[in-house]
Amino acid sequence: MSDNPKSTDEIWQQRISDAVINARKTEISAADIYGKEFPPIKWVIPDILPEGVFWLAGSPKIGKSWLALSISLAVASGGLVFGDREVEPGDVLHFALEDNQRRLQSRMKMLLPEGQAPSDRLRFNTEALRADYGLIDYMGEWMGDVITPRLIVVDTYLKIQSGIDSPSASQYQIDYERLAPLVKFANANSITLLLVHHLRKTESDDALNMVSGSVGMTAAVDGVLTLTRERGQDAGYFFVTGRDVPEEKYAMTLQDGCDWRLEGKAEEYALNENQRNIQDVLRDGSSKSLKELCDALDLEYGKNKGNVRRTVLKMLDDGLLDRQGSRYRLHRAEHREYPASNSVTH
């Protein structure tokens, strides 16, 4: 035994020195990174959902659990998601923590074609351990039991949220640290972890600010998917953003109350919808100015004249409208018309 035991400060300084030595070992030069060959990013849904941890956030009872389940079913079988997006098959673990087996059976029968059984590559559990109490090990064991682990869905995140808390820590720090083990697990294993969560009740122009919780909730993860629609409407919007994902807003429609379909990019879909509405207004053979078109469409002229003008110019280029000075009317020759459809709410 040493005659001169180290003081608390000396022990602490030694720990810091050891930590610095270990931290320096992880340094790498820009040239080395530049010359590395990395495997391609794995996509669960091309251009929408890659590997990593992602939020799927929406208001209560908006259809996000239906969407999560349809993704799981499609990935397990290697089928289509959103009606037209082909996905590679893989093994899926789906924590349906707000459902029971009866409801899962009913929903699968509604989503799958008649007579088609789900793939046995999809595994369910209606119970889960907490993220800081066994869940990481559980997911690791599942990955070791299957051939091609591709997707893990947790519906909903609050059911597995860690109990980490500290009176001296900010809510940002708490939220970030709760998610850190999940992010580390997903990135180390090149798998997608989709966490279903809620949106705030308050509106925001920034979709990331709509995710319930502090900014740490969105800062910690690799990307965010938000699903929005008005009550009673079949149409809504699907916003996608992430570190490896091109930011985009899509128009979506909910068919038969359960099956989400992607209609295209929101801006393009809205343009087509505006064109249909203008055609309907002018179908009686009248001609109208931009101001009269806005009035007929119940749009405030000052705020919407730019959008209406862009739509009108596009319709002129497509041969759908004729111009008479500052007034517009339907082209008299035969022309392509946009079929009526359930409109996306604006």
Assess contact for 123 and 271: CB atoms under 8 A.
no
Q: Which amino acid is at 86?
A: E
Query: Residue 2's pLDDT is what?
Result: 56
Beta strand segments in 126-222, E: 149-155, 192-198
- State how far Cα 98 lies from the chain centre: 20
Look at residue 98 in the predicted model and tell me its pLDDT.
Answer: 95
At 63 the pLDDT is 93
Residue 338 exposure: Cα atoms within 13 Å on the Cβ side = 21
For residue 81, what pLDDT is reported? 93
The structural domains of the chain, ordered by start, are 43-257 (3.40.50.300), 269-330 (1.10.10.10)
- Count CB atoms within 10 A of the CB of residue 305: 15
Measured in whole angstroms, how far is the alpha carbon of residue 229 from the centre of its chain? 14
User: In the prediction, which pLDDT does 82 show?
Assistant: 92
* pTM attached to this predicted model: 0.80
For tokens 């029971």, the residue is: 100
* Positions of the chain with pLDDT lower than 50, given as ranges: 334-346
The per-residue b/e assignment along 198-232, b for 16 or more CB within 10 angstroms, e otherwise, is: bbeeeeeeebbebbebeebbbebbbbbbbbbbeee
pLDDT tens, residue by residue, 205-229? 787 888 888 899 999 999 999 999 8
Indicate the residue type of 175: D
Exposure string (b/e) for 89-115, b if CB count within 10 Å is 16 or more?
ebbbbbbbbebeeeebeebbeebeeee
